[in-house]
Structure 1
Amino acid sequence: MKKIPNPRVCIIGAGLAGLTSARYLQDEGISFTVLEGTRYVGGTWRYDPRVGTDENGLPLHTSMYKHLRTNLPKPTMELRGFPVPDDMPSFPSWKIYYKYIQEYVKHFDLARHIKFLHNVILVSRVQNMWKVKYQNVLTGEEFEDEFDFVIVGTGHYSKPNYPTIPNEELFTGTIIHSHDYREPEVYKDRRVLIVGAGPSGMDIAIDVAYHSKALVHSHHSRIKFREVFPKHYIRKPDIEEFNATGVLFKDGTYEDIDDVIYCTGFQYDYPFLDKSCGLDLSPRSVTPLYKYMVNIRQPTMVVMGLTVRACLVVALDAQSRYATALVKGNFTLPPQEEMMEEWNRRAELIRSKGRPLSDIHFLAEKEDDYYADLTEESGIERVPPVMFKIRTVDTQAKLESLYTYRNYAYTVLDNETFVRTLEDKNINRIR
């Protein structure tokens, strides 16, 4: 890919991926536009009590709920070059963290680059240019502009993934997805079924358990939580089928249920990308991508924030810097065949283990190596290894107790070392 003089960049979405990309492109004096369908910054981090659609008839993308606190400690939530406030709690609420995002936008004067209330309808590749069609959501007026690069920053936490369970239509209680979960008080003295044991499943289960009469939790997670749950918590395997008033489980047991919350994850959803973009899009994966982000068939498109099991804010910031270095021409990508070979090797390794292709987005234990790779190739500043170390220790703390892991504070001492404290008592130094 040849260096493009005076490149024009389209950033889709003004969530964290779009905002960090905007900040670094601005630093380099690169021409860009951010297209955002709502009147707000921050994407999923902005709480909205409504569900379904917003005042303009567009789907509400936020999955924030009233009592949400981050599930990673604040050093891993910090955006580079913009320190989190000293008085920010170790695991801040969405409200505190959203204010931090707003201050970030203000500090770097990013709002002037954002076209609010302009929703992207279509992105297509035409004669070596990106044509981006977008619409003013208030007037309906449509526009089309040409760009050299496209950065897709819309995330993947807004289109609910619903399971298909026999006889669900017979059930007379309520069923929602965690995307539409807002507050636990409505479940007071109810028998609530939570389906799924990912981060939101565990968090919402604890949130609801404070109010419900019974908390029935159906999941097949192999994670060994050493949690002592309240007496009205009932662990169940996967669901066999619904009836009018409850659920039969795979082990033959039955529970009466009033309400169901599916915490079954989200689908990758990019309805505005057409076939000319060259990506294979499915609800569970976006492929083929080099370095988890560069569209191999059309490498002037970058899809941000698809990594799973990582410090997402840290990863997004690093990806934004890598994308900026790519746009600026600071480094050259390998030939398409090489990028595809590397991707195929990763995909084949996943298949050989009998795992689904969706695992192609997992970083997990490879997270720190990933940051090292981005630096080695693009020359960006290295994400300190201490970030991965903090996530590793925090993950262990979650296994020990979902009720107490947020009581720890993590203080970074240097790029390799941090201190973890509890109730202001020094516990250990980890190098």
Structure 2
Amino acid sequence: MKLKCLFVCASVISCSLLGGVVSFTFKAEPQKPRVCVIGAGIAGLTSAHYLKEEGLNFTVLEATQYVGGTWRYDPRVGTDEFGQPIHTSMYKHLRTNLPKQAMELSGFPIPKEYPSFPSWKLFYEYLKSYAKHFQLEEHIKFSHLVESVKRVENAWKVKHKNVKTGEQFEEVCDFIFVATGHHSKPNMPNIPGEELFKGTIIHSHDFREPDSYKGRRVMIVGSGPSGMDIGLDVADVSKTLFHSTHSKVTFRTPFPDNFIKKPDVKRFTENGAYFSDGSFEELDDVIYCTGFQYSYPFLDESSGLTFAPRYVIPLYHYMVNINQPTMIMMGMVVRACLVAAIDAQARYATALAKGNFSLPSKEKMLAEWQTRADLVKSRGRPMSDIHLLAEREDEYYAAIAKESGTSRVPPVLFKMRTLDTAAKLDNLYTYRNYVYNVIDENTFTRCYQDPRESRSCTP
């Protein structure tokens, strides 16, 4: 008896028996897509976790020697020992501005003994424990700086180098997860007369501790989370803290006597600044808390994205590159429970790479994006608001979970963030004294813990 076999495309074997046909087919497993993840901060770590869990082929490229991204405190500013920019913006006294439940990564509970609003140090330890628990570091190439990502013949060519040795490498990937964040390139306001001012001017990116401002006249520019947090930190030691802002947000915080509100800066002089109301103040130091720019120098026109200092477009669901949908821009959302949002995006991106669902047509994705863009324009707002979730946060979590078939961020987190925001407006000194406890996916309790008392907190 002779068996004759025909091999077809190395993936199908068809056999026939002389004197009668017996056929059977073996199909090889389809080749798994290769994913390149850029960055080993929260977005990179969560992506690595889910990609590993789903058995996908991936590599994480991290420019530094560490995991954790901006959550790692580094007392240095400027450049590191390899001449690379210090990317972290962490400062010494930072505590989270959201309850710990909103900072928790799926499947890895934050230790119960952590306070409701942990310090950066505790949260960074948590991130390192997450990487160790899921054995993620074996998939990370540390000290590998990505220099170029290009779309070539239906694939992504990623060029990177070892910053220690200078050795060059190239990866070819099917998917790119850009997980570098957008909190490392300072957005500088460029106020007239800066070159005349003889005091110091830094951006919050380079702020580390308040002690150097003891007894000095300091001006904070900007009233975002870092502006308010750093302002109160410096006000504890400075002679005077001038806070320049045009924000219409009303804080009911009982600010100390040395905390003086000022309007926009009009121009600098050698020893101070004039403001838009015509007033003048003598200054020793200035800290710009004016946010960060979106910066992705390794991407070029082949990405299909349009880059501006304060926005990146067009993105479907705030993350999928509509023109090249195998590129995912992680963590681009603003005014949200960012850690939970990134975790959810990592689940969505992994499901997409695995082929668990298909994206809508390009036309439908553009229509979704255009609806958001039109809303921004109709409100007379800058295009940077295209990244804003705000009141649409919970709706967003529901939409991406339904489309991708992944687990949903529970609604309770959005409810907690809403109440936490109100607490910030009431008193920036005391909002972290609240203790939050999650009851279920929709319900939580909150009580106030006076730090001066040892007894349990009260509703």
Structure 1 length as normaliser, TM-score? Answer: 0.98
2:326 maps to: 300
5 Å-filtered alignment, 1:164-243, equals: 164-243=190-269
CA apart distance, 1:5: 3.9
CA apart distance, 1:324: 0.6
CA apart distance, 1:426: 3.9
1:348 maps to: 374
CA apart distance, 1:342: 1.4
CA distance in 2, matches of 1:237, 1:425: 39
1:252 to 255, 278, 287: 278
5 Å-filtered alignment, 1:50-89, equals: 50-89=76-115
Residues 264-283 of structure 1, C-alpha deviations (whole Å, 9 max, x = no match): 00000000001101010111
2:149 to 110, 123, 133: 123
Q: Tell whether 2:52 aligns with 1:20.
A: no
1:286 maps to: 312
2:335 maps to: 309
1:42 to 68, 75, 90: 68
Could you say which structure has the larger radius of gyration? 2
Say which SS state the counterpart of residue 14 (structure 1) adopts.
Answer: coil
1:411 to 424, 437, 447: 437
Contact 2:145 2:162 (8 Å CA) reproduced = yes
CA apart distance, 1:425: 3.0
1:380 to 381, 396, 406: 406
CA apart distance, 1:422: 1.4
Residues 332-388 of structure 1, C-alpha deviations (whole Å, 9 max, x = no match): 100111111211121111112111111000000000000000111111111110000
2:14 maps to: none
CA apart distance, 1:313: 0.3
Amino acid in the other structure paired with 2:262: K
Q: Tell whether 2:40 aligns with 1:8.
A: no
Residues 287-313 of structure 1, C-alpha deviations (whole Å, 9 max, x = no match): 100000000000000000000000000
Bigger relative contact order, structure 1 or 2 (CA pairs below 8 A, ≥6 apart): 1
Residues 214-249 of structure 1, C-alpha deviations (whole Å, 9 max, x = no match): 000000111110111111111000001000000100
Residues 398-430 of structure 1, C-alpha deviations (whole Å, 9 max, x = no match): 000000000011110000000101123341xxx
| Unaligned segments of structure 1, at least 5 residues | none
Count how many residue pairs are aligned between Structure 1 and Structure 2: 424
Amino acid in the other structure paired with 1:425: C
Q: Tell whether 2:351 aligns with 1:325.
A: yes
Say which SS state the counterpart of residue 91 (structure 1) adopts.
Answer: coil
Identity fraction in percent? 65
Structure 2 length as normaliser, TM-score? Answer: 0.92
Q: Tell whether 2:371 aligns with 1:339.
A: no
| Unaligned segments of structure 2, at least 5 residues | 1-29, 450-455
1:425 maps to: 457
Say which SS state the counterpart of residue 48 (structure 1) adopts.
Answer: coil
